């Protein structure tokens, strides 16, 4: 099988986010960049399918600035075979629509049998790119999947997702399709240290818009359907209140507060 | 980037070296730190992590061939740094497996010994131990009492070894003993009649690590278990060089963990005038001193790593790093403990754990004082050992 994995480089989840003075974005200096955790599940799942189906290949595709190379290399060190980075200054300010368009364009000629990705990136949390890529490529989509079974003949995939009320929904899609990973799909492996050394010599290409046959107006800030007006941090939470006393008295006090102060009951 | 990096040393590392370091750091954060206190409390090592560490390629990471990762020395040092940012016990485990058990087999063993042991040890299936120090002789190993007497096709081993990391869980111990040809190294397999071990439980440092005594009483070992390349005490000291190199990096990790904890604590702890204690000059001086000393130690490591890769690092240069960086780490841990006040003595924070661990690391692998004498000899040409 030929498997493509969409990957985004995001700030480490421990990062203390600071907003630029003009509120146009976040301060990126000193940020530690990592692979989007949901994309890690996608890479891991791709590698597991590859290990089961002889002759399979895994290609990691990312769009982002130059530094994204290091995160693609993490995927290669985990065991993926090749990487593609779409990197062009004109892509700055791309929204989900523009991003999906560029990603779809780069994947079109690859003829993947299966495309895996995370259900969302943990930086902007849009959770829209996978669906849009599926639309652009005219592929079936299965989103927020925590179990994936590819049929022996590689023609179908059975996808499991949790839905409201603790129930599971089971989807069957014809391949090629795009499947977006939810937490629980698997336990991602670490890049092994020898794998890190091998990653250096794996095929990797960088593509700009010209090579893709796209114009800046289509996919950059100008092609975006959504403009971010400003960034701001959420207001600091007020400290909680602990009600002292015996359970009965405390419950009474709590109800009183809910009624009189919070006015919710 | 791994904090602190005041002099942007990250820029001097290759992308692969950074990735190796960050991968090990992630492993430590996700899988080791959540359980460290439990093990520190009951004096044990998280054995379930051994296969995970092997999978990563941590054991004997800088050795070539035989299933080892074949990393460069800088990467190896950074692995040790990140393990010890977690806990000195975790790093000790890796040091003993790689630098002190696999390295002697790799450097002094014959092909058969290498094939038999190294791949299994790299996979973490066989653990090793290193028996040099004795109850009566630590700093002066030349005077060791353990003897191996040749008798037909066997050696008969008698003596005892003390403070042996992984001693009770090791399948194979590299044991140094006096012979008629001087000090030689032997492979002693667990279960050999006459070979017994005893775990040292009542210890208040390196509690995430297993420490033991080894006893040999007319312990017969086949002559093919002699490490043929070992020639005198120098062979044992070559192993220590490998270990000390990694420890020099490791101490930076432990110090960094203490510094970051103390800085974050000082920024949150409100005391006088509704301001964090970090706003006071006395606290700032402490933090400035810590950062300065850590930065210096990082520079020493960086240069030493590149020297070792080029085959130019000599033993006194390694001694300088071990001596200087451990003094630094011990001081930083102590200062961090002061900044945390009473919080500095409980396991809610990593400081007291590092603080007590570093007392061992300061002393093992050549005490601070012994490294002083090694440097003294390097400077003056006069050995002051005897």
Calculate the average pLDDT of chain B.
96
Q: Compute φ and ψ for A136, nearest 5 degrees.
A: -60, -35
Interface check for A231 against chain B (CB to CB < 8 A): the answer is no
The pLDDT score that the predictor gives to residue B45 is 97
For residue B94, the chain A residues in CB contact (below 8 A) are none
- The rounded distance, in Å, linking the Cα atoms of A137 and A104 is 6
Nearest to B23 among A69, A190, A200 (CB): A190
Radius of gyration of chain B (CA): 21
Interface check for A15 against chain B (CB to CB < 8 A): the answer is no
Nearest to B27 among A30, A69, A190 (CB): A190
Q: How close B52 gets to chain A, by Cα (Å)?
A: 9
Query: Cβ–Cβ of A194/B57 closer than 8 Å?
Result: yes
ipTM over 0.85: no
- The rounded distance, in Å, linking the Cα atoms of B370 and B319 is 9
The pLDDT score that the predictor gives to residue B193 is 97
Kindly indicate whether the domain formed by A2-223 is annotated with CATH number 3.40.1390.10: no
Domains of chain B, CATH where assigned: 9-122 (1.10.540.10), 128-232 (2.40.110.10), 234-379 (1.20.140.10)
Residue numbers of A between 39 and 98 with CB closer than 8 Å to B: 69-70, 73-74, 77
- Residue pair A189/A44 in contact (Cβ under 8 Å)? The answer is yes
- Name the nearest CA neighbour of B4 among B369, B360, B261: B261
Output the CA–CA distances (angstroms, integers) from residue A82 to A85, A201, A229, A235, B366, in the order listed. Answer: 10, 10, 37, 43, 47
Q: What angle do helix axes B315-340 and B351-363 make, rounded to 10 degrees?
A: 150
Query: Cβ–Cβ of B71/A193 closer than 8 Å?
Result: yes
- The rounded distance, in Å, linking the Cα atoms of B128 and B170 is 5
Spatial CB neighbours of A56, under 8 Å, sequence gap ≥ 6: A1, A2, A3, A49, A50
Confidence of residue B386 (pLDDT cuts 50, 70, 90): confident
What's the residue count for chain B?
A: 386
* Mean pLDDT of all residues in B120-147: 96
Q: What is the 3-state secondary structure (H, E, C) of B36-96?
A: HHHHHHHCCCCHHHHHHHHHHCCCCCCCCCCCCCCCCHHHHHHHHHHHHHHCHHHHHHHHH
Size of interface A-B (CB pairs under 8 A): 51
* Mean pLDDT of all residues in B234-248: 96
Spatial CB neighbours of B304, under 8 Å, sequence gap ≥ 6: B77, B245, B248, B313, B317, B318, B321
* Mean pLDDT of all residues in B281-285: 97
Helix (H, G, I), strand (E, B) or coil at B190: coil
Residue B159 bridge partners (DSSP): B216
- Name the nearest CA neighbour of B250 among B330, B169, B311: B330
Percent of chain B with pLDDT over 70: 100
Mutate to test the interface with B, among A11, A188, A196, A204 (most CBs of B within 10 A): A196
The beta strand positions in A26-165, using DSSP E, are: 33-35, 57-63, 82-86, 114-118, 141-145, 147-150, 156-162
Helix (H, G, I), strand (E, B) or coil at A162: strand
Confidence of residue B33 (pLDDT cuts 50, 70, 90): very high
The pLDDT score that the predictor gives to residue A239 is 83
* Mean pLDDT of all residues in B181-199: 97
Q: Would you say residue B1 has pLDDT above 70? A: no
Q: Which chain A residue has its CA at the smallest distance from B53's CA?
A: A192
- Residue pair B154/B221 in contact (Cβ under 8 Å)? The answer is yes
Q: What angle do helix axes B315-340 and B281-309 make, rounded to 10 degrees?
A: 160
* Mean pLDDT of all residues in A26-33: 88
Interface check for A239 against chain B (CB to CB < 8 A): the answer is no
Query: Cβ–Cβ of B26/A190 closer than 8 Å?
Result: yes
Q: Which chain B residue has its CA at the smallest distance from A71's CA?
A: B19
* Mean pLDDT of all residues in B250-272: 97
Nearest to B19 among A30, A70, A189 (CB): A70
- The rounded distance, in Å, linking the Cα atoms of A68 and A39 is 13
Active-site position among B199, B285, B365, B386: B365
For residue A197, the chain B residues in CB contact (below 8 A) are 16, 69-71
Task: Based on the residue annotation, tell me whether B11 is a catalytic residue of this protein.
Answer: no
For residue A77, the chain B residues in CB contact (below 8 A) are 19, 23
Q: Would you say residue A177 has pLDDT above 70? A: yes
Q: How close B264 gets to chain A, by Cα (Å)?
A: 12
Tens digit of each residue's pLDDT (9 = 90 or more) over B42-100: 999 999 999 999 999 999 999 999 999 999 999 999 999 999 999 999 999 999 999 99
Place of tokens 């006090």: A253
* Mean pLDDT of all residues in A201-222: 88
- Chain-centroid distance, C-alpha A103: 13
Exposed (0-12), middle (13-18) or buried (19+): which is B26, by Cβ within 10 Å? middle
- What six digits make up the tokens of B201? 């439980």
Domain ranges of chain A: 2-223, 235-265
- The rounded distance, in Å, linking the Cα atoms of B119 and B153 is 27
The beta strand positions in chain B, using DSSP E, are: 128-131, 147-151, 154-165, 172-179, 182-189, 195-199, 211-222
Given CA atoms B144, B146, B149, B153 in this order, what sign does their dihedral have? negative
- What six digits make up the tokens of A109? 């000629």
- The rounded distance, in Å, linking the Cα atoms of A60 and A76 is 8
Percent of chain B with pLDDT over 90: 98
- How many other β-carbons are positioned within 10 Å of the β-carbon of residue B305? 25
For residue A199, the chain B residues in CB contact (below 8 A) are 16, 19
- Residue pair B58/B79 in contact (Cβ under 8 Å)? The answer is yes
- The rounded distance, in Å, linking the Cα atoms of A106 and A108 is 6
Percent of chain A with pLDDT over 70: 100
- Residue pair B74/B193 in contact (Cβ under 8 Å)? The answer is no
Residue B197 bridge partners (DSSP): B214
Mutate to test the interface with B, among A74, A193, A201 (most CBs of B within 10 A): A193
- The rounded distance, in Å, linking the Cα atoms of A15 and A30 is 9
Tens digit of each residue's pLDDT (9 = 90 or more) over A77-94: 999 999 999 998 888 888
Output the CA–CA distances (angstroms, integers) from residue A136 to A63, A92, A176, B102, in the order listed. Answer: 16, 21, 13, 54
The pLDDT score that the predictor gives to residue A182 is 96
Q: Which chain A residue has its CA at the smallest distance from B21's CA?
A: A193
């Amino acid at each position: 099988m030929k498997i493509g994995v969409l990957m985004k480089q995001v700030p480490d989840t421990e990062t203390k986010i600071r907003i630029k003075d003009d509120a146009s974005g976040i301060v990126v200096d000193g940020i530690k960049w990592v692979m989007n955790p949901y994309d890690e599940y996608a890479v891991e799942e791709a590698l597991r399918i590859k290990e089961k189906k002889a002759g399979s290949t895994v290609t990691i595709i990312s769009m982002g600035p130059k530094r994204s190379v290091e995160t693609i290399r993490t995927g290669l060190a985990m065991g993926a075979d090749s990487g593609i980075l779409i990197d062009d200054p004109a892509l700055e300010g791309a929204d989900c629509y523009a991003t999906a368009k560029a990603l779809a364009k780069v994947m079109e000629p690859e003829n993947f049998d299966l495309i895996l990705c995370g259900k969302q990136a943990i930086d902007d949390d849009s959770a829209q790119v996978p669906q849009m890529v599926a639309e652009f490529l005219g592929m079936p989509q299965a989103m927020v999947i925590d179990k994936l079974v590819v049929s022996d003949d590689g023609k179908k995939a059975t996808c499991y997702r949790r839905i409201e009320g603790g129930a599971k929904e089971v989807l069957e899609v014809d391949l090629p399709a795009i499947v977006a990973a939810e937490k629980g799909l698997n336990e991602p492996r670490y890049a092994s240290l020898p794998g890190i050394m091998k990653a250096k010599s794996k095929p990797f290409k960088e593509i700009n818009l010209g090579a893709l046959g796209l114009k800046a107006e289509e996919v950059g800030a100008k092609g975006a359907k959504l403009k971010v007006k400003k960034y701001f941090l959420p207001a600091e939470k007020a400290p909680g209140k602990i009600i002292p006393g015996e359970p009965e008295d405390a419950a009474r006090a709590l109800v009183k507060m809910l009624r009189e102060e919070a006015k919710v009951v | 980037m791994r904090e602190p990096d005041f002099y942007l040393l990250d820029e001097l590392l290759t992308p692969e070296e950074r990735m190796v370091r960050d991968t090990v750091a992630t492993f430590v954060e996700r899988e080791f730190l959540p359980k460290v206190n439990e093990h520190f409390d009951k004096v044990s090592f998280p054995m379930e992590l051994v296969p995970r560490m092997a999978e990563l390629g941590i054991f004997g990471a800088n050795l070539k061939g035989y299933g080892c990762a074949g990393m460069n020395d800088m990467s190896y040092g950074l692995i040790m740094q990140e393990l010890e940012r977690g806990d000195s016990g975790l790093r000790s485990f890796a040091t003993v497996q790689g630098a002190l058990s696999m390295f002697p087999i790799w450097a002094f063993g014959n092909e058969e010994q290498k094939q038999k042991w190294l791949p299994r040890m790299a996979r973490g299936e066989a653990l090793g131990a290193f028996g040099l120090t004795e109850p009566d002789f630590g700093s002066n190993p030349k005077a060791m009492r353990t003897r191996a007497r040749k008798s037909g096709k066997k050696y008969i081993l008698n003596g005892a070894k003390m403070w042996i990391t992984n001693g009770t869980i090791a399948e194979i111990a590299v044991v140094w003993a006096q012979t008629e040809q001087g000090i030689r190294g032997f492979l002693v397999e667990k279960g050999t009649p006459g070979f017994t071990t005893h775990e040292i439980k009542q210890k208040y440092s390196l509690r995430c690590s297993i420490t033991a005594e080894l006893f040999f009483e007319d312990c017969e070992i086949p002559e093919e278990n002699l490490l043929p390349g070992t020639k005198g005490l120098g062979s044992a000291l070559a192993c220590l060089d490998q270990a000390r190199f990694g420890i020099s990096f490791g101490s930076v990790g432990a110090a960094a963990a203490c510094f970051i904890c103390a800085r974050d604590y000082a920024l949150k702890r409100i005391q006088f005038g509704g301001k964090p204690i970090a706003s006071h000059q006395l606290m700032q001086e402490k933090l400035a001193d810590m950062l300065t000393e850590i930065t210096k130690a990082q520079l020493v490591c960086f240069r030493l790593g590149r020297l070792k890769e080029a085959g130019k690092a000599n033993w006194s240069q390694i001694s300088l790093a071990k001596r200087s960086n451990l003094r630094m780490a011990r001081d930083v841990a102590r200062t961090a403990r002061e900044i945390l006040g009473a919080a500095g003595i409980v396991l809610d924070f990593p400081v007291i754990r590092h603080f007590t661990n570093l007392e061992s690391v300061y002393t093992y692998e050549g005490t601070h004082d012994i490294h002083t004498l090694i440097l003294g000899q390097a400077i003056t040409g006069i050995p002051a050992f005897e």
